[in-house]
Every structure is written in structure tokens, then in C-alpha cells.
Structure 1
Amino acid sequence: MKELGRYKILEKAYEGGSSLIYKAWDEENRRQVAIKMLKPGLQSDRSALKDFLNECEILKTIEHQNIVKVYEIGRTPHMIMEWIEGRNLKNIIVRERIDLSRYFFPLAWKIGDAINYLHNRGIIHNDIKPENILVSLEGEVKLIDFALAMRKGLFRWRKKIKGTPVYVAPEVLLKGKTSEKSDIFSYGVLLYELLTGRLPYNAESPKLLLTKKAESKLRILPPSYHNPSVSPFLDRLVLSLIDFSPSSRPTIREVLLELGREALSEVGKKIEWREA
């Protein structure tokens, strides 16, 4: 494919399990854009199509500085989105081994602010993880991939739990029950990884990890065990987010209030990860 309407395809930028993302040029608005669409073989797959249309429906209703912006939704179906030149957090932390812990507060704040925006509008993201956080070369932070997102109160039956198991809350693994608090758990795992460069738990195999996590048998050490520079405040905050009891986890608004009280001057710090 070389063109899609007024958009000139420049290159295939990403291939996921069910979708393709192309980097393209918008001739009319003179800007680079991203075009997301289902893989050709999945356009007749009911489940994949439902997830994609759900993502389109949710993204067209929201606008936030830390959430990827959608310009247009086509009938194919496809989405025209802003192009973000950068990397996702997983690539930066794990593959490029760049220590972003010094930017913990601005990253935690921007990601948390995006989650707060969604929760205030009754939207649960359901797939918060480092791969779904883009950091641009200019230090902008964007939450992406709303394929699993849903509006509060709606139930979407699935044959199996979707999402990356290590970031999925125990109550979702056990009962398939998602809520704002399951987003909080995923956010907490992400913050733990941001502070330490590792996940908060290990297991001999993915299956054993799921079993132990669902049965709340995992032992979680505070982030400071792996990174002595982590403060008691952050130990307490992050552990509260990944508490196995949903009712014991704070709301995202409470998290932002605590972050603001602890380090208000830090949350606006520019993220310069290329120089880390």
C-alpha cells in the first residue's frame, strides 16, 4: 500500500498481534501522521474487529495532552493519529537500559494524569504497561493502545483474559473483573519497574506466576530493596498501588495528590532520556 486517500505511506512502523501502524505524510495538513489498521487477515475476525471499533469509539471522544491524539477515523476501518517520534518505556528501560528513575515524578505524574482523565470519564484502560507509554524525543509522554479499554459498568465477555499477565490485577485473573482499581494495579507495576528496572515479582514460569498472583501468594519486596535511593514515601506509595486487595488501593486522584504534596516542583521536570 502506497497511499490511503490524501495520506502517502512512508513506511510500516509497527506490527502488533492484530494491527499494523504506518508512518505517513498528510499532504493537506503538511504533517507526519500514524495510520493504525487491522491486519488484512483479521478484518473479518469478529473479536479483533470489535476491539478495533471499540478503540476507535473511545479515542474519538477524548482529548488529553498525555493521550495519543486521533485526527480522523476512516470507514476501512482505520485511525489517523498524531505521529510521535520516540520510544516506548519498555524499550527505553529494558532494551536500551536507560535509567529513568531520576524522571520518576514527571513520568508518574503525566501517566497518572492521563489515567485520572479517563477514570473521570468512566473509562478503564485495561492495558497499562511500559509498552503502551510513548516518550517522544522532546520528552512528551503519551498513553496509547485502547483496544482493551471499556466504559465503566459495561462487561465484555472474553474466552480468555487479555492483557500482559505481569501487569494484570489478581482480581482480573481470578474473576475477569475490571475496574479503576485494576488500572491502578497495572500503574503500580509500571512505577515499580520505572524505579527498579525490574518487575515486583518473579516466578519459575508464566503459568506459575499467574497461579501465585491470582492466589495472592507472591512476595513483593519494596522498590528500595533493589534501588536504595528510593525513599520511604515511594516505597509506601508504590506498594499500596499493587496491594492484592482492590479496596486497599488508592484512587488515581489520591495518588496525584500525594505526588503533588511530595514533589510538586519535580512533576514538571523536562524528560531528556536521550542524555540519560
Structure 2
Amino acid sequence: MQSEKYCYTDLQQIANGAFGIVSRAVQRDILNQKPIQTVAIKQVSYKEQTDRNPIGADPDLEIQQMQNCTNQNVIRLLDSFADENYTYIIMQYHPVSLQNIMFPQLPLRVVQTIMHQVFCGINAINSRHTAHRDIKPSNIMISRTGVLQIADFGQATSDFEQTNNCGTRIYRAPESLLSAKFNEKVDVFSAGLIVFELVAGRPLFTASSEIELITQQNAILGPFEGVLALEQSADWPKILLESGWEKGEKLREILQNVSDDSDFKELILGCLDCDSETRWTAEMCMDSNFCAKRGQGSLIQRFLYYQDANSVNGRILGGVD
């Protein structure tokens, strides 16, 4: 497998999802075959709607989104090429994701350090009038030096008029579930759910269907009634939701039992506002009192080693470029 400048050898499949196959490989100089670095290769069926590309996503647009967003907290595009059937997207390789360190009761300063980087990455994406639309722990990679990077731009869009039926269920915003008018703040909502999960040691929502999740969100974050963007959704008449309580009242009760930290509660309430018009931006989250208490990236690295120096994470991080 090769592009104009590089060849790729020693491929090993590491992920197999709805939008393609991801493999680990060695990038080599095409002339002398000298190894350069270990990379991740995402293989996507080209444009047409198939089992490997269920929504007909255009990998060329994914490449363009990555090229347009250069930030230390966003995964870097290294190369790309295509053949008759597939497009190959070459990226930085990090074997550890945030999903791997979702331990119960993470130290608050570690969470603050993690989330500041995540919000920095989201802000870099959102500031280009783009929504990633699939922010989740497994799409947030961690380097051996403790730098977090947002990966997988397969569902990213700058077209807020298109369908918003994207993302992983439990991290989706209400406007996404209801196919309502949306903006880049769907990413902030997803990130807010990650903050909660890191601190609480459990997801806020555990629904097994979209209807169940809408009901849970309405009960905890709502009521949705009165949120114009949601009420104007074509799906609004299809659901019957309870109302009659103050907005976010039940979420405040839950937060009180999770942490006494007022800055944590303020951030969650800002991120999980069911009205995207008043929801916080990624920049506001970056500059929040919660993230202001962060440590350096090395804190994350030290924490990983401290958890278990002989664990898979520890061994892998020791050998990542």
C-alpha cells in the first residue's frame, strides 16, 4: 500500500466500525524503505452508501475538515490517497484513548486537565463553523506525553441544514435526537456528558433506544417544552413528554450527590443546557473556573503510570512516538 511519497507496511487492524476499518501501520520512505513512524490508517468506501459507509459520507470532506483544523488537541492528518474502491486517511497513531482511562472516581484535577484539552480541541473545530458530531471517549486519543487529541472526522459538518442523525446515542444532544435545527454546540453537550462520567464514574444516561433517551433527557435536563428549536422539530409531535418542573431541577439534584465542587456543577449546567441557544460555547468551557484549576499534560501521563505500571496502558504509553 502506498501514496506518492510513502509506503505503508506491517498493517494490523485495530478497529472495525460502521464507517470503515482502522489499521496500525509503519510509514516508510517510498525510495529507501526507511521506517519513519507508526501511523493509523482509516480505510473508507468512497462516497457511495454501503455497509462500510451507511450514510454515504464523503471521505474527501473528512480529509478537508482535518486539513482545515490544525491544533495540538486535534489529530493530525499525515497523508491521504485513494484507489478504485477506497480512500485511505493517514493519521497520527496513539494506542490509548480516553475510553481506556474512564476509571471510577478520577482525581478532580486529572479531570480538569483532561477536559481543558478536550474543550481546546472542540473550540478549534467549532471556531471554523464546524460540528464534529461524534465526541465520545473512544474518539479522544492520548499521546504518551499526556496530550489529548480529537479524532474521527467522519461525521463532521459545516452544513447545519443537513440531517443531524449522527453520533453515538448516549452522547447525543436533544436537538440531534429530535432531528431539530442544530449548531456546533452539539459537541459541547457531548463533552459535558463526558465530564459528568469522568467525575461520577458512570454515564448520566443509560438508554437503550432513542425514545428512551429523549424521555430521560427531558426528565433530567428539561422540560423541553418551551425550547423553540426542539418544538419546531418534525419529530416533536411524535413524542409525549412530561413537564411541570423548573428547567434543570433534577440535574441539580443529581449533581449535588456527585460532587460538592461548585465549579463542576456550573460547567455541567452550562454544557447540558437543553436549549442550544443558551448552552455554553467550547470557549466558555475552556475559560471556566473548572478548567482553570487544571494541571499540565504530564499530570495525565503520570496518572496513567501510577494506576498500574504493568498494565496494558502503561506498557503501550512507554513505546508511543
1:261 is displaced (CA, Å) by 7.7
What residue number does 1:217 align with?
219
1:121 to 1:188, Cα distance in 2 relative to 1, 3 A: same
Structure 2 Cα separation of the partners of residues 50 and 201 of structure 1? 28
2:257 maps to amino acid? Y
Structure 2 Cα separation of the partners of residues 112 and 32 of structure 1? 27
What residue number does 1:75 align with?
82
Q: Deviations over 1:139-170 (max 9, x none)?
A: 1211011111111x443237xx2211211111
Is the 1:66–1:110 Cα contact (8 Å) retained in structure 2? yes
Structure 1 Cα separation of the partners of residues 105 and 13 of structure 2? 26
**Which of the pair has more CA radius of gyration?**
2
For the aligned residue pairs, the C-alpha RMSD in angstroms reads 2.7
1:126 to 1:224, Cα distance in 2 relative to 1, 3 A: same
1:248 is the counterpart of 2:258: no
More off after superposition, 63-72 vs 7-16: 7-16
Structure 1 Cα separation of the partners of residues 292 and 149 of structure 2? 23
1:155-234 paired onto structure 2 within 5 Å? 155-157=161-163, 161-203=165-207, 205-213=208-216, 216-218=218-220, 219-220=250-251, 221-226=253-258, 228=259, 230-234=260-264
Query: Which structure 1 residue ranges, 4+ long, deviate > 4 Å from structure 2?
Result: 46-49
What residue number does 1:7 align with?
8
Helix, strand or coil for the counterpart of 2:299?
coil
What residue number does 2:227 align with?
none
Is the 2:19–2:54 Cα contact (8 Å) retained in structure 1? no
1:259 to 1:73, Cα distance in 2 relative to 1, 3 A: farther
Helix, strand or coil for the counterpart of 1:198?
coil
Structure 2 Cα separation of the partners of residues 23 and 100 of structure 1? 32
Is the 1:9–1:22 Cα contact (8 Å) retained in structure 2? no
Aligned with residue 124 of structure 2, among 101, 111, 117 = 117
Q: Gapped runs of 5+ residues in structure 2?
A: 30-34, 221-249, 308-321
1:26-41 paired onto structure 2 within 5 Å? 26-28=27-29, 30-38=36-44
Structure 1 Cα separation of the partners of residues 55 and 10 of structure 2? 23
What residue number does 1:239 align with?
269
Is the 1:126–1:149 Cα contact (8 Å) retained in structure 2? yes
Helix, strand or coil for the counterpart of 1:26?
strand
1:137 is the counterpart of 2:168: no
1:208 is displaced (CA, Å) by 4.5
2:299 maps to amino acid? K
More off after superposition, 233-242 vs 63-72: 233-242
What residue number does 2:288 align with?
258
1:189 is displaced (CA, Å) by 0.5
Structure 2 Cα separation of the partners of residues 182 and 54 of structure 1? 19
Q: TM-score, normalised on structure 2?
A: 0.73
2:151 maps to amino acid? I
1:47 to 1:57, Cα distance in 2 relative to 1, 3 A: farther
Q: Gapped runs of 5+ residues in structure 1?
A: none
1:92 is the counterpart of 2:96: no
Structure 2 Cα separation of the partners of residues 169 and 48 of structure 1? 19
